[in-house]
Amino acid sequence: AQSVTQPDIHITVSEGASLELRCNYSYGATPYLFWYVQSPGQGLQLLLKYFSGDTLVQGIKGFEAEFKRSQSSFNLRKPSVHWSDAAEYFCAVGAPGTDKLIFGTGTRLQVFP
Amino acid sequence: GAGVSQTPSNKVTEKGKYVELRCDPISGHTALYWYRQSLGQGPEFLIYFQGTGAADDSGLPNDRFFAVRPEGSVSTLKIQRTERGDSAVYLCASSLLGLAGAPGDEQFFGPGTRLTVL
């Protein structure tokens, strides 16, 4: 069965600093991979997704993620964080041929001015 | 409608009571999902509908939980004999075709229903 690990529960960065949120998955083949963001009182919003092709994926709000098969990772990056990026970030994996997503436990991002 | 809507936004009930949570998906979306998010956790899959039928209900925790989608649009999640451990935010999502039919198909999430069982 597939699983997702987000090793960092809470990350604090200064505004303007770069960001990397880690995500590791467990699955026997290449899964579908997603990053979602959840702001307080808001629903989950898709930032980006990978299902095939180029392993570097561009998303909304200046985020990108890179699929590394050898490391079973799909880390989320942003070169310069804005205060509005403070939120909870979830990595999710889907197995091809199925429809359910398996989510990690999330990483809470705090941004200091 | 512009997005997925869920009602009520908050529901407080007493242990042992029956509750219904409603989800209105994006118009035209054939796939509908229910997830449960407990405090400090990521969403946990409950059930997936393709049209009117439950294609995967492997995430329903026990037989107190049941969901329907009779006309292939609105869905209702029903919980019988609620327990304190059922307290969570229940999320609904919809997608145009579903991942299995359309790799990379995006799931759009609603704002959730916060269920509190006293």
- Tell me the pLDDT tens digit for each residue of A43-83: 899 999 998 889 999 999 999 999 999 999 999 999 999 99
* Interface residue A104 vs chain B (CB under 8 A): yes
pLDDT exceeds cutoff 70 at B5: yes
pLDDT exceeds cutoff 70 at A27: yes
Nearest residue of chain B to residue A49 (CA atoms): B104
Q: Cβ of A51 and B104 within 8 Å? A: yes
SS3 sequence of B44-74:
EEEEEEECCEEEECCCCCCCCEEEECCCCCC
Alpha-carbon distance values, B118 to B72, B87, B89, B94 (Å): 33, 9, 15, 30
Give how far A75 is from chain B: nearest CA, Å.
Answer: 17
Q: Cβ of B43 and A45 within 8 Å? A: no
Give how far B46 is from chain A: nearest CA, Å.
Answer: 9
* Interface residue A40 vs chain B (CB under 8 A): no
- Kindly indicate the confidence band of residue B80, based on its pLDDT and cuts at 50, 70 and 90: very high
